[in-house]
Structure 1
Amino acid sequence: MDVIKTSDLKAAGVPRYRIDLRCRPGGPWQRILPGVLLLGAAPPTRADRVKAALAYAGPEAVLTGVDALHTHGLPDLPLPPRVHVLQPAGRRRSGDHHVLLERTTRLPRPVHKDGLPLAPPARAVLDAARHEPHPTRAHGLLTAVLRSGLCSPPTLLAELDAGSKRGAATPRSFLRALTHH
């Protein structure tokens, strides 16, 4: 299905009343996020939610966390309930129960894959681990990335040292223990 911003439809000449009519209950379209539509009546897939989150967050947004890791080549990681997206610190969009929007002054240079702007693997896994409340699952994320060869412990530690200290204790202790062995 197609995900599109309502502003793009209006720019293409679709009147607002037609958009509203098609998005009524039982209609052929649905609002997936404010200002973002799914041009279909079926429930949105995870891929639809990812596209919608990026469209909602704006053109500088970068996909991070487990969804980015899936696209980088780790499809077996369990998906969290929300799509994690980074946005510039100046943006004031807020997430919902399907999207975790995180403002950052350290917006990574995106790696483009499958048409999506992705955080590099080290940033993506650390963002996921920082938001994972269960330490065993956070360790599992870090271990999966290290085993895959997407990044090394020194790369992860360097990214961890450069980033926010919030939520960094669990990944930091795991990586320090790993590098001391």
Structure 2
Amino acid sequence: MLATHANVSYLQSHQAAASMLATHANVSYLQSHQAAASMLATHANVSYLQSHQAAASMLATTHANVSYLQSHQAAASMLATHANVSYLQSHQAAASMLATHANVSYLQSHQAAASMLATTHANVSYLQSHQAAGRSSLRLSRTEELKPFQRQFLLPRLCPFCMTIWAKTNSFC
């Protein structure tokens, strides 16, 4: 009986120890799983936050780069437009200057031609009037010196048809 009791106690104590060990193992197992799950969850949260931060950073960087490029493209477009406007304005100014220069040259050449014509005409008129005055004064001075019967023989005469000088007394050329 004592041996049986001892055996029972031994078994009971072993069973209790085994149960406690099993419980401890289960608790440890659960705790380790809970800890692992918690760590995984934490890691997942960290990864989630990191991925969101990375996405936000990428979006911000991309947006900044896009804005930078857009501002540069806008500036380049404005510069190109300004260059085109300046180019057109300079060409228009040059064309206007050339047109003005052409008009001035045209007017100057016409004024010069008109001046030359007027001068030439005045000079011709002046010479003609002086020649006419010289011929008439020459005729008068020579005819006054000659006696009436000498005038018809010595004074050169103009042909009334061709206006050349002829010396014959009573005939034409």
Q: Which one has a larger percent strand, Structure 1 or Structure 2?
A: 1
Task: Please identify the structure whose Cα radius of gyration is greater.
Answer: 2
Q: Which one has a larger percent helix, Structure 1 or Structure 2?
A: 2
